[in-house]
Structure 1
Amino acid sequence: FFSRAALEMLPYIDFKPDIIHANDWQTALVPIYFSIFYADKEFYRGMKTVFTIHNIQYQGKYGKELVEDVLGIPEPSVPLLEYGDCINMVKGAVECANRVTTVSPTYAQEILDPWFAYGLESILQERSWKLSGILNGIDVHVYNPETDEYLYANYTADDPDGKAEDKAELQQRLNLAQEPEAPLVGMVTRMVAAKGLDLLEQAFDRMMQQTNLQFVILGSGDWEYENFFKEMQSRYAGRVCACFGFIPELSHKIYAASDLFLMPSRTEPCGLAQMIALRYGAVPVVRETGGLKDTVTDSGGGKGNGFTFRDYSSDDMLGAVKRAVKGYADRDGWKILMRRGMECDFSWGHSANEYIRLYRSLLKNGK
């Protein structure tokens, strides 16, 4: 009803947009309704629709009985939404929208593959001409180590000394050993399988036994993973701390205190945590997937801003972590790597310009 109302109200408020941009399955009916009921009406003529997929796992699947009674879709248009034995909101939006975007260029390519597409690969392959990826951005005013009020000490890329105080204070708060030379690995994440936590389960003991790192994680999710990290905290007292829930001030403190930031995701459409980590001088260790691949490049050649691994393997993840720990021991080189990351631009200004280019291209080309 919201999607239909958003279109129906436009003449009543005398607002005639050039572009109507809908996001995810919750508003997928907007381009569908527009195509079926409004595109040929005089007031709406010339308007274009864009649909963004943030995570293709969530598609808005429902039984076919909803089509006419609830959604009001006429019988000739039902095939737009049909996919398999149900109706699929995202499928319908992909069919109807003038352009389809995802939240990173790599993810736009990945979802053409059955491994990532959750059953929608065929329709996306057929409509790949209208598909592109634009990275999300972060609020660089909220996430700014120079002014962040949540931090114990502020710092900048030019003067990063405050980061050491943030680390010491967080170690004290979380009952971690006061060891400034031990690299602190942070995670702020949903505790679900897609975030690669099964890799951590497989490699955690080796990671702790083969390095001198400390580890802190903040998040909540599946019982299996919460229980695992509670057990690791008990097993490695003074080196591991697991914090559960959504605690904004603590998340900021973890970004600021961490030397490394781990994201071994199975899939990551865009990812914001690695961008925030870079801004706070926490060097990311990530799997090369989705937005992680587009924002983090391996520093092995002396030019990257983090450490990456390609295969979804606990051995490969552990190898990347060990390379990062070895890099941390080179204090002069580490300062250069930190600064390189802190100077990356992941502001919304860059992303907004990409969307403006997309909108202008759509209006110019007329389809």
Structure 2
Amino acid sequence: MKVKKVLLAASEAMPFAKTGGLADVVGALPPALNKLGVDARVIMPLHRQIKEQYRHEMKHICNFFIHMGWRTQYVGVETMEKNGVIYYFVDNEYYFGGPIYKGGEAEGEQYAFFSRAIVDCLPVIGFMPEVIHLNDWQTAMIAMLLKTRYRNTPQGAVKSVLTIHNLCYQGRFNLAFAKDVFDMGDGDSIMNIEAYGDANFLKGGLVFADKINTVSPTYAEEIKNPYFSEGMDGMLYARQRDLSGILNGIDADELNPATDGNIPYHYSERDMAGKKKNKEALIEELSLGISADMPVIAMVSRLTSQKGLDLVKCVLGDILFDDVGFVLLGSGDNEYESFFQEAAYNYCGKAAVRIGYDEALARRIYAGSDMFLMPSRFEPCGISQMIALRYGTLPIVRETGGLFDTVLPYNEYTGEGNGFTFSNYNAHDMLNVIRMAIGVYGQKAKWNRLVENAMAEDNSMESCAKEYIRLYDMMM
């Protein structure tokens, strides 16, 4: 191992602020890296959403000012240690005293400020990393700053890795706006961040980062195809030698049905009695009028088109015609929220829908369900199917991105597999696979073997961390 010091830069991280899976990854990866001998630290905004109990533990390191166009903005840097990891927080009430993501150009300015503040604070926080690990468009422009404006400073020696968690989100803004917030003069090569007439913050990272990775090997291949590339296939193809896929992991200690404090009954692959008790408790909690001998199909998801919900809309009535229960937890587009709420009313007793997000309820759903439906149109990695496997709830997924990499389809001849898959983005292909799963559920010996296979999978963050160390070392 060559690299000893890594700084992860991200817009959110657990346990401080979370809107999606990025926070889980940024929260879980540094402890895993530390266990392997890397001094991995995190820098993120001091969001208003961070609890007071954490704020009281923080210590002030430094403060200075930077110019954002015609504006002069305050930068404060706070620090604290949590679970053996040192965190730095960039403080500015104007940018981080509201929503985590403001939307529009306000969000572009928010994270342009964050990126510039990170680069400027490196010499004064007492930690100069060998590698800075960037995450999505919000921090991608740091790679450009290091290779251009700061190339003849100590920061210019820092290598950069850019992780693409979802290529859909690229940070597209007006070119004049980008020049303003990054203080780019006429001598700067604006073409390095221009795409289709706009400034594209993610492109800045794709051009200048030393290495690029996505969060699964299959997604790394898919995004070279125009269908998945969101207009970036040319750039990604040009950087293909520096592009790789590293499968995300989960915190196997936190997500453990043998110890999880969020579920009423504990169980393990060697003692599964608690699994059925959790199912009985879930049926009672959600007022489902079904027998505990009937399979329960669950979804815990953002309610967006990416998640394949139009397929579910098409055949939910057919699914519920069979002897099954259906449980959904999530929030998102009004179209899908309304549909599933209406379905819960129409299929009262067989379907339960909870709009919103509740981590404790999510754990009880993972523990108390038999099958986990995830028919995504595309999925860069996906964490939910890994959690389902960990809790012995067999995934039913479409073969795309990280779903393809983590779910091995059931083989009726050998009994191998840890879930069920379908390839085409087609509602009736999905329905056929669901019915196959229901059929196998009725054959307890076969089903129990699949559950054992699922719970034996190693999707821990330690495996993920080892891959990142290899990637870091390639740059040295």
Q: TM-score, normalised by structure 1?
A: 0.96
One of 439, 449, 459 as aligned partner of 1:336: 449
- Using CA pairs below 8 Å that are at least 6 residues apart, which structure has the higher relative contact order? 1
1:155 is aligned to 2:292 = no
1:325 is aligned to 2:438 = yes
- Conserved 8 A contact 2:119-2:155: no
- Conserved 8 A contact 1:258-1:282: yes
User: How many percent identity over aligned positions?
Assistant: 43
Tell me the amino acid that sits aligned with residue 64 of structure 1: L
More strand, by proportion:
2
1:348 is aligned to 2:440 = no
The residue number in structure 1 matching 2:139 is 27
Distance 2:302 2:447 in 1: 28
- Conserved 8 A contact 2:398-2:422: yes
C-alpha displacement at 1:124, in angstroms?
0.8
1:225 is aligned to 2:360 = no
* Structure 2 residue runs without a partner (length 5+): 1-112
1:282 is aligned to 2:390 = no
The residue number in structure 1 matching 2:62 is none
Alignment coverage as a number of residue pairs: 361
C-alpha displacement at 1:73, in angstroms?
2.1
C-alpha displacement at 1:30, in angstroms?
0.6
Distance 1:260 1:14 in 2: 49
- Conserved 8 A contact 2:212-2:243: yes
One of 171, 175, 187 as aligned partner of 2:287: 175
Q: Decide which moves more: 260-269 or 223-232.
A: 223-232
C-alpha displacement at 1:14, in angstroms?
4.5
Per-residue Cα deviation, 1:82-118 (whole angstroms, up to 9, x for no partner): 1111000111110000101111111111111111111
- Conserved 8 A contact 1:262-1:284: yes
The residue number in structure 1 matching 2:170 is 59
- Conserved 8 A contact 1:67-1:78: no
The residue number in structure 1 matching 2:204 is 92
C-alpha displacement at 1:234, in angstroms?
1.8
Q: Decide which moves more: 19-28 or 296-305.
A: 296-305
Mapping of 1:116-135 within 5 angstroms?
A: 116-135=228-247
Q: TM-score, normalised by structure 2?
A: 0.74
C-alpha displacement at 1:206, in angstroms?
1.4
Mapping of 1:263-274 within 5 angstroms?
A: 263-274=374-385
C-alpha displacement at 1:148, in angstroms?
0.9
Residues 58 and 157 (structure 1), Cα distance of their counterparts in 2 relative to 1, 3 Å cut = same
Mapping of 1:67-106 within 5 angstroms?
A: 67-75=178-186, 76-106=188-218
The residue number in structure 1 matching 2:219 is 107
Q: Decide which moves more: 32-41 or 320-329.
A: 32-41
- Conserved 8 A contact 1:217-1:241: yes
One of 345, 353, 362 as aligned partner of 1:251: 362
SS in structure 2 of the partner of residue 28 of structure 1: helix
Tell me the amino acid that sits aligned with residue 333 of structure 1: K
C-alpha displacement at 1:16, in angstroms?
2.7
1:207 is aligned to 2:319 = yes
The residue number in structure 2 matching 1:307 is 420
Per-residue Cα deviation, 1:150-197 (whole angstroms, up to 9, x for no partner): 112110000011111110111011111241221000110011111000
Distance 1:22 1:336 in 2: 40
More helix, by proportion:
1
Distance 1:178 1:212 in 2: 8
* Structure 1 residue runs without a partner (length 5+): none
CA RMSD, 1 decimal:
1.2
Residues 45 and 192 (structure 1), Cα distance of their counterparts in 2 relative to 1, 3 Å cut = closer
Distance 1:280 1:69 in 2: 49
C-alpha displacement at 1:204, in angstroms?
1.0
Distance 1:14 1:78 in 2: 32
Distance 1:286 1:307 in 2: 6
Tell me the amino acid that sits aligned with residue 100 of structure 1: I
One of 348, 351, 360 as aligned partner of 1:237: 348
